[in-house]
């Protein structure tokens, strides 16, 4: 079994390029400057998150349940993956109202606020 390609430079953290490709059977080799795919730039933890996210078909609640993390943590991990793949997170519109409502419901679910407090907070959003 071959080693997995290293997507980030261990010295400076920038993306790596491949300079040689070789056939294992006939040893034909091609040399040049080849970019690696954006998924190859992700770390092991990021790849695991992406796998769970895809398996869950993007259902945030399912990702929360499987990984045992909160909505804001899922969003943060997703933003980190997007950045690592070379995309600008700021260019993606955020639904702040939905996020705020979700945070209120998370607080309610953890017992940190009462249902009365949650109703008031949701009305104020």
Alpha carbon distance 125, 113 (integer Å): 16
DSSP H helix total and E strand total for the chain: 5, 2
pLDDT value for 38? 85
- Whole-number average pLDDT of the chain: 87
Question: Which pLDDT belongs to residue 72?
Answer: 87
pLDDT confidence band for 88 (50 / 70 / 90): confident
State the maximum Cα–Cα separation within the chain, in Å, rounded to a whole number.
71
The model's pLDDT over 43-77, given as tens digits with 9 standing for 90+, comes to 889 999 999 999 999 999 999 999 999 988 999 99
Q: What is the pLDDT of residue 35?
A: 82
**7-40 burial, b if ≥16 CB within 10 A, otherwise e?**
bbeeeeeeeeeeeeeeeeeeeeeeeeeeeeeeeb
Q: What is the pTM of this model?
A: 0.58
């Amino acid at each position: 079994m071959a080693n997995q390609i290293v997507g980030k430079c261990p010295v400076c953290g920038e993306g790596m390029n491949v300079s040689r490709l070789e056939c294992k059977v006939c040893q034909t080799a091609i040399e040049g400057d080849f970019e690696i795919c954006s998924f190859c730039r992700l770390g092991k933890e990021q790849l695991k998150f992406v796998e769970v996210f895809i398996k869950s078909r993007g259902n945030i609640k399912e990702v929360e349940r499987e990984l045992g993390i909160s909505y804001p943590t899922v969003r943060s991990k997703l933003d980190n993956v997007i950045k690592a793949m070379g995309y600008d997170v700021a260019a993606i519109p955020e639904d702040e109202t939905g996020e705020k409502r979700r945070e209120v419901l998370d607080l309610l679910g953890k017992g940190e606020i009462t249902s009365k407090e949650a109703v008031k907070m949701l009305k104020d959003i």
